[in-house]
Chains A and B, each alone.
Chain A
Amino acid sequence: MASDDDAPVVALAGLPNVGKSTVFNLLTGLSQHVGNWPGKTIEQKTGVLHDNGLTIQLVDLPGTYSLTANSVEEQIARDYLVKEKPDLVVAVLNAASMERSLYLVAELIELAPRLVIALNMTDVARQEGTKVDAKALEAALNITVVPMVASRNQGVKDLVKVIGQEYSQPTVARVVRHIESGSETEADISHIARLLTDEDTAPYPRHWAATKLLEGDEQINRLLRERVSEARWSEIDSFLKDRESAAIVIAGLRFDWVRKILLTAQEKPPIGQVSITERLDRAATHPLFGLIILLMVMGLAFAVVYGIGVPVQQFLQVSVVERMQALVFGEMTFLPGWLQGLLGDGILGGVGMVLTFVPILFLFFVAWGFLEDVGYTARVAFVTDRYMHAIGLHGKSSLPLMLGFGCNVPAVMGTRIIESRRARLLTVLVAPLIPCTGRMAVIAVIAAALFGGRAILVTVGVIALSLVVLALLGFFLNRFVLGGKRAALMMELPLYHSPSPRTIGLGAWQRTAAFIKRAGTVILIVSIVVWALSYFPGGSIEESYLADIGRWLEPVGKLMGLNWQAMVALLTSFVAKENTIATLGVLLGQNEAGLNEALRAMLTPAAGIAFLVAQVLFVPCAATVACIRQETGSWRWMAFSLGLQLVLSLGLAIVVFQVAKLVGVGV
């Protein structure tokens, strides 16, 4: 609708882990758009709310603890408030963590003239023994407060009503009473503000900019240093140098304000009472028991995901994709041969095969969403921190890496939760070494064909190898490429709470939808290109460009005991990892039973292992590569990642085969 663009804009602000996205989802339903903030790789969600003739545009600001530019998220949030001037800001607060939530409100009231408070997670607060009196809070703040339990869909109607009221009866804009008024800092802030002009600080309010200068905000500092004349700046700068502890004083003032409000509005459990979360965490964050719990949780999650997902995938592959392929080649003989090939081998064999993995992925995302929603994933980051330390990462990196076991695409995108750019880049570079569902499927089929009873051992071995390579790579990249300085860990562990099926379902759906969208674009195009290479000019794969490339690569293949067919199979895994099997099927024999025998004839055990090693470490699939380019924002790092894995996979496979040959095992 064209008129939506003129509709009033409401921005949602809040801390991380306060259920802000859940509130956003409830307000917009599925009519939302997920993109990036301009120039940043931080997710931006926008949507439209229709209610009773009311149309409102909603913007979900990144979760932040403050509005000082300590992180990109904070910079985005405040720049949006200042530059875009939303008509109304809804501050989503966590009733179980009021001090920190109100600290943000103390900053918001300076930049958002119209503010409404959504007091979320009142159920979690109650469970922890904390009671927040919404009426008292409203009176103390002089801001409308709506109590909510967003995960149970409670209070949403009230919030919509309040948003509507704010428009129908425009209240007088609040006079901002600055947090420092009456304190010694007031004079300091006014002094700096007097040294500046409104043009200097535009678009930021002058008083606010002066406060931020005093707080040591680097972005504002840089901005003003450029704009203000040297003489004036040196005066400001020396004034600031004498007040280095002002940041602490100002933060203290904000917390004093917060505590004063909470005196009347909050009832805390008696001191000394150990919360449920803390009791659970004694085990869940213990260096040893925590790790055991983590392994058990992950084991269970994978068992459920694969237990349900694999039969569904098999069904889709055999009964849908393969049947449709049979239809194309058997019944549609009226089509020219190349079109049959394009439909059957190119599209169905490429994209179709990739899509059969969607149910497994979806289940994986559900399991992940569940762990995220109950609050467990933050504990995973905590427990793994000491190990990630060794490879130059910190605990938060382990979350996207675990997502990588499902699919490398969300893993690379998931690195956005890591604040430090260096740690993020490192995580992006090692993430493709996590064996994803697709790669595991290939390993499972080939290991079963070649090694029979010992297949499990080989599979586990190959996966373990891939993880060892990941750790070593992380260590070396950190040491020698990225310069070895690590960002410090600082992370809030949210309170445990019961999961909301709605949040989990929607999250899993959004992640899966992003994957399907990719399958429809990048994977489709690459599938068609690779198919064309495998069909033209001869009309069959044996006489195609791809076969030419494979034969040209055969000397390299020989070093690891592989013939050109195996090299081609490796190459086609670039489209999607699962393609390796499909390609081998085309090149060797059509049905599955035939494939097993053909594989045994083609690969000696040593060559088989070399092939699996090459496959598991090979360059990531096209979709992941596209993602790496997007997330690093650099062609150079993308090329680096590609080259690195190419060298690693072929190099290690050659070593494996040559050593086996030397020792005389399995040749």
Chain B
Amino acid sequence: MGSERVEEYLEAIFKRQAKETPVSTSALAEDLKVSLPAVTDMMKRLQDSGFIEYEPNKGVSLTGEGRQKAVSIVRRHRLWERFLTDILGLKWDKAHEEACRLEHATSPETEDRLASLIGDADTCPHGHPIPDKDGNVPEQGVRPLSDFKSRQKVCISAIAREDAVVLRKVEKLGLKPGSVVSIDSKGSGGSMKLKFGDRKLVVEGDIAEDLLATPFVGEEREVSAEEAVPISALRAGESAVVKSYAGGRGMLGRCLSMGFTPGSQVRMIENYRRGPILVSVCGSEVALGREIAGRIMVSRKRP
């Protein structure tokens, strides 16, 4: 079997690891749409190459080397998806399929060009973080939508399963990463009634499990379909209102005490391609590194 197949497997294990470690072989068979014996066969091979650790009844986990390889594939995949949707205008599901093929035939040089062309985007169109060149994957701190309770307000941050059917359904609902919805009620089979701006949506149980979200807190009147963007997307001179904070709690406390709370007004003072940004908040200037700037979600104020 070629290296393409190996890469596919590593990628699938890596994505599954976010939910469960070790990963069961049956879950892999489902994700990759292959038979269970084929998976077991491949696992032995991958273990011999030193990419995974495999214990027949428990499951598999990536070794350091395996993780490195998987992350680099994931990076290329997500860069391609950005390119295909943002620049070529492909649909979500189509972009995913194309990226699956292109990721295996991408030279490091092409990868660098893609990254610089895409610039500031730090997630794929489905909301998953693009790992950086050194293999660090930003932590997101997200939970499935189905885990939230009625009357909670949440910010959709990603679509967990990049399956053509799921993607098409989500796209049809009009939801995308950054959308803010409030949960009206929960129905049978895990289905959920959502309020999204002025519209009411019903989300099936399996889709609710595949939508990843973070708790959202903001003022009532600002909950609408308008898009939340990371603060680093603002251009110098643009004003915005802070909507939510995406990602782990690591820097949350500091962001809050500096005045980045939902509802507070911010204005971008300086934003050049790389390097820190300078934002005016609470009457003074605050310098933010790109890592944090990508997590503070704001919505632009219309002039």
Q: Which of B1-9, B42-50, B159-167, B251-259 contacts A (4 or more CB under 8 A)?
A: B251-259
User: Which residues of chain B in 257-288 are interfacial with respect to chain A, using CB atoms and an 8 Å cutoff?
Assistant: 257-259, 261-264, 269-270, 272, 274-276, 278, 280, 282-288
Type the 1/0 row for B128-166, where 1 means its CB is closer than 8 Å to any CB of A: 000000101000000000000100000000000000000
Rounded to whole angstroms, the CA-CA distance of A69 and B69 in the bound complex is 37
Partner of A278, one of B258, B259, B285, B288: B285
In the complex the two chains form, is A255's CB within 8 Å of B261's CB? Answer: yes
Would A99 and B259 be within 8 Å (CB), given that A278-B280, A385-B287 are in contact? yes
Partner of B217, one of A104, A130, A252: A252
Type the 1/0 row for A379-406, where 1 means its CB is closer than 8 Å to any CB of B: 0011001100100001100000000000
Residue of B whose beta carbon sits closest to that of A68? B253
Would A68 and B286 be within 8 Å (CB), given that A386-B274, A489-B276 are in contact? no
In the complex, which of the residues B217, B252, B257, B275 has the most CB atoms of chain A within 10 Å of its own CB atom?
B257
Partner of B256, one of A98, A242, A248, A395: A248
Measured as residues with beta carbon below 8 angstroms from the partner, the interface class of chain A is 35 or more
**Residue A232, interface by CB 8 Å:** no
Residue of A whose beta carbon sits closest to that of B295? A488
Report B-chain residues with C-beta under 8 Å of the C-beta of A247.
249, 252-253, 256
In the complex the two chains form, is A488's CB within 8 Å of B283's CB? Answer: no
In the complex the two chains form, is B259's CB within 8 Å of A386's CB? Answer: no
In the complex the two chains form, is B263's CB within 8 Å of A65's CB? Answer: no
Report A-chain residues with C-beta under 8 Å of the C-beta of B276.
382, 385-386, 395, 489
**What's the nearest-Cβ distance from chain B to residue A340, in Å?**
58
**Residue A493, interface by CB 8 Å:** yes
In the complex, which of the residues B244, B255, B284, B292 has the most CB atoms of chain A within 10 Å of its own CB atom?
B284
Residue of B whose beta carbon sits closest to that of A65? B257
In the complex the two chains form, is A492's CB within 8 Å of B217's CB? Answer: no
**Residue B64, interface by CB 8 Å:** no
In the complex the two chains form, is B254's CB within 8 Å of A65's CB? Answer: yes
Report A-chain residues with C-beta under 8 Å of the C-beta of B249.
216, 244, 247
Q: How many residues of B contact A (CB 8 A)?
A: 40
Residue of A whose beta carbon sits closest to that of B294? A488
Residue of B whose beta carbon sits closest to that of A382? B287
Type the 1/0 row for A58-81, where 1 means its CB is closer than 8 Å to any CB of B: 000000011010110000000000
Report B-chain residues with C-beta under 8 Å of the C-beta of A2.
none
**Residue A245, interface by CB 8 Å:** yes
**Residue B245, interface by CB 8 Å:** yes
**Residue B291, interface by CB 8 Å:** yes
In the complex the two chains form, is A70's CB within 8 Å of B253's CB? Answer: yes
In the complex the two chains form, is A252's CB within 8 Å of B282's CB? Answer: no
In the complex the two chains form, is B134's CB within 8 Å of A484's CB? Answer: yes
In the complex the two chains form, is B261's CB within 8 Å of A495's CB? Answer: no
Report A-chain residues with C-beta under 8 Å of the C-beta of B263.
252, 255
Q: Which of A172-180, A222-230, A280-288 contacts B (4 or more CB under 8 A)?
A: A280-288
Report A-chain residues with C-beta under 8 Å of the C-beta of B245.
248
Report B-chain residues with C-beta under 8 Å of the C-beta of A65.
254, 257-258
Report A-chain residues with C-beta under 8 Å of the C-beta of B244.
248
**Residue A137, interface by CB 8 Å:** no
Residue of B whose beta carbon sits closest to that of A479? B134
In the complex the two chains form, is A248's CB within 8 Å of B291's CB? Answer: no
**Residue A215, interface by CB 8 Å:** yes
In the complex the two chains form, is B289's CB within 8 Å of A285's CB? Answer: no
Report B-chain residues with C-beta under 8 Å of the C-beta of A494.
284
Report B-chain residues with C-beta under 8 Å of the C-beta of A103.
257, 259
In the complex the two chains form, is B283's CB within 8 Å of A96's CB? Answer: yes
**Residue A301, interface by CB 8 Å:** no
In the complex the two chains form, is B251's CB within 8 Å of A488's CB? Answer: yes
**Residue A441, interface by CB 8 Å:** no
Rounded to whole angstroms, the CA-CA distance of A632 and B262 in the bound complex is 39
**Residue A100, interface by CB 8 Å:** yes
Report B-chain residues with C-beta under 8 Å of the C-beta of A99.
259, 282-283
Rounded to whole angstroms, the CA-CA distance of A389 and B291 in the bound complex is 12
Residue of B whose beta carbon sits closest to that of A250? B256
**Residue A490, interface by CB 8 Å:** yes
**What's the nearest-Cβ distance from chain A to residue B4, in Å?**
30
Residue of B whose beta carbon sits closest to that of A277? B285
**What's the nearest-Cβ distance from chain A to residue B175, in Å?**
20
Residue of A whose beta carbon sits closest to that of B291? A488
Rounded to whole angstroms, the CA-CA distance of A389 and B284 in the bound complex is 24
Partner of B257, one of A68, A281, A378: A68
Would A485 and B136 be within 8 Å (CB), given that A244-B215, A248-B217, A394-B289 are in contact? yes
**Residue A249, interface by CB 8 Å:** yes
Report B-chain residues with C-beta under 8 Å of the C-beta of A130.
283
In the complex the two chains form, is B217's CB within 8 Å of A245's CB? Answer: yes
**What's the nearest-Cβ distance from chain A to residue B90, in Å?**
33
Type the 1/0 row for A467-502, where 1 means its CB is closer than 8 Å to any CB of B: 000000000000000001110111111110000000
Would A493 and B259 be within 8 Å (CB), given that A281-B270, A394-B289 are in contact? no
Rounded to whole angstroms, the CA-CA distance of A286 and B270 in the bound complex is 8
In the complex the two chains form, is A491's CB within 8 Å of B278's CB? Answer: no
Residue of A whose beta carbon sits closest to that of B284? A97
Report B-chain residues with C-beta under 8 Å of the C-beta of A242.
149
**What's the nearest-Cβ distance from chain B to residue A192, in Å?**
17
In the complex, which of the residues B252, B285, B288, B291 has the most CB atoms of chain A within 10 Å of its own CB atom?
B285
**Residue A251, interface by CB 8 Å:** yes
Rounded to whole angstroms, the CA-CA distance of A103 and B286 in the bound complex is 16
Would A252 and B262 be within 8 Å (CB), given that A70-B254, A247-B249, A488-B251 are in contact? yes
Report B-chain residues with C-beta under 8 Å of the C-beta of A394.
289
Residue of B whose beta carbon sits closest to that of A130? B283
Partner of A96, one of B259, B261, B284, B291: B284
**What's the nearest-Cβ distance from chain B to residue A662, in Å?**
36
Report B-chain residues with C-beta under 8 Å of the C-beta of A386.
274-276
Residue of B whose beta carbon sits closest to that of A286? B270
Report A-chain residues with C-beta under 8 Å of the C-beta of B269.
278, 281-282, 285
Residue of A whose beta carbon sits closest to that of B254? A70
In the complex the two chains form, is B278's CB within 8 Å of A382's CB? Answer: yes
Report A-chain residues with C-beta under 8 Å of the C-beta of B215.
244-245, 248
In the complex the two chains form, is B264's CB within 8 Å of A255's CB? Answer: yes
Q: Ordered nearest first, which 10 A-B pairs have the shortest CB separation?
A: A386-B275, A245-B215, A489-B289, A66-B257, A251-B256, A65-B257, A493-B285, A99-B282, A488-B289, A70-B253
Sample of 16 further A-B pairs with CB below 8 A, known A70-B253, A103-B259, A493-B286: A97-B283, A103-B257, A245-B217, A251-B256, A251-B257, A252-B262, A278-B285, A281-B270, A286-B270, A386-B274, A394-B289, A488-B289, A489-B289, A490-B289, A490-B292, A493-B278
A-B contact pairs, 25 of them (CB 8 A): A65-B258, A68-B253, A70-B257, A96-B284, A100-B282, A103-B257, A103-B259, A216-B249, A242-B149, A244-B215, A252-B263, A277-B285, A278-B269, A286-B270, A385-B276, A385-B289, A395-B276, A489-B292, A490-B251, A490-B254, A490-B258, A491-B287, A493-B278, A493-B286, A494-B284
CB within 8 Å of B: which residues of A?
65-66, 68, 70-71, 96-100, 103-104, 130, 215-217, 242, 244-245, 247-249, 251-252, 255, 268, 277-278, 281-282, 285-287, 378, 381-382, 385-386, 389, 394-395, 484-486, 488-495
